[in-house]
Structure 1
Amino acid sequence: MEPKRSNARKPTVIRKSIVARKERAARESVFPDLRNSGLLARALILYVAGVAAYSVATTPTLSEFPLSMATSLALSLPIASVVGMFWIAANRLLRKLAYWQAGTLLLLFGVAMAFALALWLGAAPWRGVALTALGIGATLAYFHTLGRALSPAVTEARLQALQARIRPHFLFNAINGVLGVLRYEPKRAENALEDLAELFRALMRDTKELRPLHDEVVLTRQYLDLEKLRLGDRLSVSWKLDKMPSDALVPALILQPIAENAVYHGIEPSNLPGSIEIEIYRLRSTVTINVRNPFVEHAGNHHGGNKMAMSNIKERLALHFDAEAQMHAGPRDGQWLVQILLPYRPTSKNNDNASAL
């Protein structure tokens, strides 16, 4: 008789799975990236507000407030500057740790700097240490609360992305385009089906992470090749990529939906041939993406679907880059221009693809 297999290891496996999920959940609260100008501005405002609140609380009369504020700033500014520089320099390390671990490390560093500065000046260390601990603690608590508040927005943005990714008209048009050349150009139809499969594979990927700009361009080329199959000479595409930083990290599916809107709103409503121009370049620390297409002023409801894709892209840009990214859309010189400005973040083996918060 075959002995029964023991199930003793199953609880261990389940416990390990639960622990792993908890660790992943803890790491979902990503440590703030102070290189982001929007977060840096918030941190500076919090710092000044914290010093002002401390001065008000420790000043017996209003007339003494300016002197108390100046003294508190003089004591805390060097420490705040050193802590800020450490925060930026150790960004990769801090964002690999759980939020509480990174916060504890930053707090200990700040308190140590405050204590060392007080000893060097021959002053009582309690004031500088208290200011530092309160300032860092309040800042970390604010960013943690902000990150938790944004997490539903991330989920909602991902759901909107799923809804906006596949438009039924594109699927039907792509299949009809393939069927149109299947009999006469079977090789071209085969290549088109491969592009379609790759396109839908990319559309089904998780859009939470940042991806190299080169990958987004390849995906958009595949999409436009499929549209050319259907529209023929009515669609031409001009690419200006001489100064494009291929290694720049951008939100997934940032370019293809704009190209799809350009086809849907700029090419399809007109019987005349039209051109889409896609220009991408880097100027210092800013990456610029320009997409131009013919502007059909009286397209009626044809422009109605433009809002969802554009608002979705704007929301994801804000979630990833905060105030550092901008997006503009509108008529210019007889064409419709969509322009995206975002910070240049190169791809690297150790690069953190998470959002600013």
Structure 2
Amino acid sequence: MVSIRQTTYPDSLPDFRNLGVIARVLVAVNAVALGGALFAAPDLAQAIDRFPQIAALVEPLLLACLVMLFVLSPLLARLAYWTGCAAVMALVLLVTVMLRAGVTAIVAEPPAELGRMLVLAALISAGLLGYLRLRARAYSPALAEARLQALQARIRPHFLFNSLNAVLALIRRDPKRAERSLEDLADLFRTLMSDAHQFVRLEDEIALLERYAELEQLRLGERLRLTWELDAAPSDALLPPLVLQPLLENAVYHGVEPGTGAGEVLVRIERRGDRVLARIENPYVEEQQHRAGNRMALENIGERLALFFDAEARIETRISDGRYRVEIEIPYRVASR
């Protein structure tokens, strides 16, 4: 397993390559610029006229700083928190000086007094770093709670009891298969009890899916038909543990068990550029209590993905042609070597 470097750690710099962090910085700085225009102008009409002038000065500096932070993010991540903050502040001030010098060389008139620009850049940078740190601290309890829910709510008791009964029925008829099934069950619960604070490789999560599917097929027999489309799955991709298995469990529990006949479950995982997409489909069954339980599990997974990947992850559900589909999209990340 590989330790997760999350955006939610209170004493590490933000991941400046994270879409959520970039969006928050853009919104915050532009909000400050708008506030400055409203504060400096005597009325709203003049503030609206003045804001584009302020934005023309702020946006190039903001974008230049974001580009530099994006490029240097891996290096900044290695620094201690306060050292990293000092490095970010120094970088912002350096970009401010260089950009002002470049504009002055082109238009022959400085856009603003250097001292004022440096003070504003330093104050805004410090404020943003403080805000992102406070946000991380606020989310830390939520992260711990999400991990606890993930460990407590995953494998339903009925699955354990029914699987054990199925294994007991196999012991005399097919002892080797019964032994393999017990090993699969042990591996499944070993993963369930593992540290949810670590990334796992996609190939390990897929192996867990396959072991779980074997147990369910042992229990449901021909009623469960599984289709695997994994040829394009990136085995080295990293993701939080117990994200895909609950989706497969939901597909069986909500899509196959309530029906009277056989049900097909599709598992498709692939890489598209710098993204990893996972889709699990099952027959759609209209049943109120099943919908409520499914929604709770999906909310739990969505919360974990948001805490681990921020705005870079998404989870969507849809119903089409009598099929219920869940799609997850996460950034493609691999372990650093």
Check whether TM > 0.5. yes
SS in 1 for 2:336: coil
The CA RMSD over aligned residues, in Å, is: 2.5
Give the alignment of 1:147-162 within 5 angstroms. Answer: 147-162=136-151
Q: Percent identity?
A: 42
User: Quick one: distance in 2 between partners of 1:30 and 1:281?
Assistant: 31
Instruction: Look up the match of 2:3.
Output: none
| Range that drifts further, 63-72 or 27-36 | 63-72
Instruction: Look up the match of 2:32.
Output: 50
Instruction: Look up the match of 1:14.
Output: none
Q: CA deviation at 1:42?
A: 1.5
| Structure 1 unaligned blocks of 5 or more | 1-25, 351-357
Instruction: Look up the match of 1:111.
Output: 93
Instruction: Look up the match of 1:341.
Output: 329
Give the alignment of 1:72-221 within 5 angstroms. Answer: 72-118=54-100, 121=104, 123=110, 124-221=113-210
Q: CA deviation at 1:143?
A: 1.2
User: Quick one: distance in 1 between partners of 2:292 and 2:10?
Assistant: 36
SS in 2 for 1:133: helix
Instruction: Look up the match of 1:8.
Output: none
User: Quick one: distance in 2 between partners of 1:36 and 1:283?
Assistant: 18
Instruction: Look up the match of 2:216.
Output: 227
User: Quick one: distance in 1 between partners of 2:35 and 2:213?
Assistant: 57
User: Quick one: distance in 2 between partners of 1:64 and 1:329?
Assistant: 47
User: Quick one: distance in 2 between partners of 1:52 and 1:270?
Assistant: 57
User: Quick one: distance in 2 between partners of 1:66 and 1:334?
Assistant: 52
| Residue 261 (1) aligns with residue 250 (2) | yes
Give the alignment of 1:19-38 within 5 angstroms. Answer: 28-38=10-20
User: Quick one: distance in 2 between partners of 1:41 and 1:204?
Assistant: 36
Q: Is the contact between residue 10 and residue 140 of structure 2 (CA under 8 Å) also seen in structure 1?
A: no
User: Quick one: distance in 2 between partners of 1:49 and 1:158?
Assistant: 34
Relative to structure 1, is the Cα distance of residues 137 and 42 closer, same or farther in structure 2, using a 3 angstrom cutoff?
same
Q: 1:322 aligns with which of 303, 306, 310?
A: 310
User: Quick one: distance in 1 between partners of 2:51 and 2:319?
Assistant: 50
Q: Is the contact between residue 228 and residue 267 of structure 2 (CA under 8 Å) also seen in structure 1?
A: yes
User: Quick one: distance in 2 between partners of 1:83 and 1:147?
Assistant: 22
User: Quick one: distance in 1 between partners of 2:61 and 2:319?
Assistant: 49
Instruction: Look up the match of 1:277.
Output: 266
Q: Is the contact between residue 277 and residue 328 of structure 2 (CA under 8 Å) also seen in structure 1?
A: yes
| Structure 2 unaligned blocks of 5 or more | 1-7
User: Quick one: distance in 1 between partners of 2:99 and 2:179?
Assistant: 70
SS in 2 for 1:327: strand
Give the partner amino acid of 1:223. Answer: Y
Give the partner amino acid of 1:195. Answer: D
Relative to structure 1, is the Cα distance of residues 274 and 27 closer, same or farther in structure 2, using a 3 angstrom cutoff?
closer
User: Quick one: distance in 2 between partners of 1:303 and 1:66?
Assistant: 49
Q: Is the contact between residue 10 and residue 134 of structure 2 (CA under 8 Å) also seen in structure 1?
A: no
Cα deviation per residue 1:86-106 (whole Å; 9 max; x = unaligned)?
211122232333333222210
Q: CA deviation at 1:112?
A: 2.3
TM-score calculated relative to the size of structure 2: 0.86
SS in 2 for 1:34: coil
Q: CA deviation at 1:139?
A: 1.6
Q: Is the contact between residue 9 and residue 136 of structure 2 (CA under 8 Å) also seen in structure 1?
A: no
Q: CA deviation at 1:68?
A: 5.5
User: Quick one: distance in 2 between partners of 1:203 and 1:38?
Assistant: 29
Q: CA deviation at 1:158?
A: 1.2
User: Quick one: distance in 2 between partners of 1:218 and 1:199?
Assistant: 10
Q: Is the contact between residue 27 and residue 99 of structure 1 (CA under 8 Å) also seen in structure 2?
A: no
Q: CA deviation at 1:59?
A: 5.5
User: Quick one: distance in 2 between partners of 1:48 and 1:244?
Assistant: 40
Q: CA deviation at 1:293?
A: 1.2
SS in 1 for 2:270: strand
| Range that drifts further, 269-278 or 49-58 | 49-58
Q: CA deviation at 1:237?
A: 0.8
User: Quick one: distance in 2 between partners of 1:40 and 1:118?
Assistant: 23
Cα deviation per residue 1:97-123 (whole Å; 9 max; x = unaligned)?
333322221001111222344456385
